[in-house]
Structure 1
């Protein structure tokens, strides 16, 4: 899932971060835990929520940015842009932070990443926060410091489903009419005659078709969405699978600006070097994670890894190359293969 927040007003005075309870490693979800410390942490957050409200430093707002299919105002505090995912999973946090609905798996990943060489390449993590009876992971707003940014979400790897999801779907097969309808909306000839007759498909069939349709299968990544500074937006990349199609989309994203291309290329190379040295990366199956690209008219350009809800630790002693072809059972995800291809494309564009 990709997420973005607009910046608070630059004139706002800096505020100290609100303290939140952060569980010790191994405790899992503190907000839903039943142990003594989990209860104490939850009660501490409730006490903070009862304290008198402070004056909010952000009184004025930028105009709403519309991103189909979601337009979310968060009580008019500041605008939200979400390129892919579920709008209900997010809330605006305090002091320019964002709150993402608790996923214990993602929480554990973020805690570990704060101790890993990948820390500069992921959102800073500030522990847990509770709002309206829900528990959230509290993270850095990655748009802070950008002026009217352009944004792109790239889903990394050759697949966006875990091996365990595929196996579970096979063990409990169920015909899905909704997935059939999504399939025919994009590629009417994709279903078999039997699937057309049933007007439904099995989930494993749909998942594998979806990846083969895009550049996930051919390049190890796919563009999920682009929002440009001029307000133009697109998520119509489901059938973008050839290198020349990707080059065209990326060229439009950066408006042919060589400085931005060069800066992005440097970010990607730095990320690859960090990934190759990361203990976390080599010992996890990284599926459904995205790279978030952000730049503005000043030439500032940055790339972050985001979305770790499907990032799963391997068995002790097992590692992945993230480059070998995926064969069911080997858990390879193709992340580095996709990053290699992305770097090659940016390098070619920079030289042209």
Structure 2
């Protein structure tokens, strides 16, 4: 599509889910890796980050890079990203994500995936090298929407049953949002297990009901927010989308067009049919020049389905069917963005087509 920039990878996001992070509420923009060898250690934050962390607690670091462009990570662990040469970024190595990216480079979804450029090493750390999605934008607005009706893989439930681990940090996050949610037992323990938190997190947000949730928004003026934990009402989401698009109908129309193209490509993708895609996001980017783009990011929880199974990504999940609700979420994104278009005055004679 002519309005889309060349593929460049997101300077954003940790492959940890903002609702199920082991150490903070900042998991999302680049996924949640469940590999045994992907228990990522957090690095000491950069000095520049220390100066701004009180302003944007969910952006692990902001770094000047090419044209003094701010490298923004909407969610994720501090230290998961590093600069690379020639406009690329480095993301801490995750075998599952690497395998997914390698396979996706040969799939019909490739135009909507950050370009995989191999492994790299820096300061003794192993990384995945990818193109920077933000490089072709000038002072962009960026939004991360986590897709799917659940953000945990079935393996996590099995592990939690076999070796339940009580999490005091997740209990605290829960009561900060809803003090009445914990059971008597959880209240006595002042702790909950991770899957319990994640399932609650999905139901308190729009994940369970709409198949996606807003993880973070960064506007061109530098303002940013991750205060969407309990955002689930369609009208409220539409208002956030309208604000994100600066109430510009053309921008909203371009997003609808790209979302429809992504949906059609997902439906024809062999990779997508044969994988459970959990914790992945759609990254929305636009700038004042009218340039827009949407990319699929975060593959640390993307795993092949058991033999003989395929997913339609819309069927409601029950344990054992491995459905993730990904296309259910894309359908709802298209519907809500279409409503945004219809609510705004026309910029010109063009208008958004209905779903």
Q: Same fold (TM over 0.5)?
A: yes
Greater Rg by CA: 1
Equivalent pair of 2:313/2:323 in contact (CA under 8 Å): yes
Residue 290 of structure 2 corresponds to 299
Residue 52 of structure 1 corresponds to none
Worse overlay, 333-342 or 138-147: 138-147
Residue 127 of structure 2 corresponds to 136
CA distance in 1, matches of 2:307, 2:193: 33
- Given candidates 239, 248, 251, the residue that maps to 1:257 is 248
Q: Post-superposition shift, 1:70? A: 3.5
Worse overlay, 197-206 or 155-164: 197-206
Q: Post-superposition shift, 1:235? A: 0.2
TM-superposition CA deviations, 1:46-68 (whole Å, max 9, x none): xxxxxxxxxxxxxxxxxx89632
Unaligned runs of 5+ in 2: 1-8, 13-34, 39-51, 344-355
Unaligned runs of 5+ in 1: 6-28, 33-63
Residue 112 of structure 1 corresponds to 103
**Match status 1:213 vs 2:220:** no
Residue 232 of structure 1 corresponds to 223
Q: Post-superposition shift, 1:174? A: 2.2
Q: How does 1:111-260 map to 2 (within 5 A)?
A: 111-260=102-251
CA distance in 2, matches of 1:151, 1:70: 12
CA distance in 1, matches of 2:196, 2:306: 28
Residue aligned with 2:311, SS: coil
Q: Post-superposition shift, 1:3? A: 4.7
Equivalent pair of 1:268/1:303 in contact (CA under 8 Å): yes
CA distance in 2, matches of 1:316, 1:192: 38
TM-superposition CA deviations, 1:12-39 (whole Å, max 9, x none): xxxxxxxxxxxxxxxxx9xx9xxxxxxx
CA distance in 2, matches of 1:144, 1:131: 21
Residue 69 of structure 1 corresponds to 58
CA distance in 1, matches of 2:217, 2:209: 20
Residue 311 of structure 1 corresponds to 302
Residue aligned with 1:130, SS: strand
Residues 76 and 244 of structure 1: is their aligned pair in 2 closer, same or farther, counting only changes over 3 Å?
A: closer
- TM-score, normalized by length of structure 2? 0.80
Equivalent pair of 2:216/2:227 in contact (CA under 8 Å): yes
CA distance in 1, matches of 2:271, 2:312: 12
TM-superposition CA deviations, 1:218-277 (whole Å, max 9, x none): 100000000000111110000001111111111111111000000011110010010000
TM-superposition CA deviations, 1:267-323 (whole Å, max 9, x none): 100100100000000000000000000001111111000000000011233210000
CA distance in 2, matches of 1:81, 1:271: 24
Higher relative contact order (CA 8 A, sep 6+): 2
Residue 280 of structure 1 corresponds to 271
- Given candidates 315, 321, 325, the residue that maps to 1:330 is 321
Q: Post-superposition shift, 1:72? A: 2.5
Residue 5 of structure 2 corresponds to none
Equivalent pair of 1:118/1:274 in contact (CA under 8 Å): yes
| Count of aligned pairs between the two proteins | 297
Residue aligned with 1:207, SS: helix
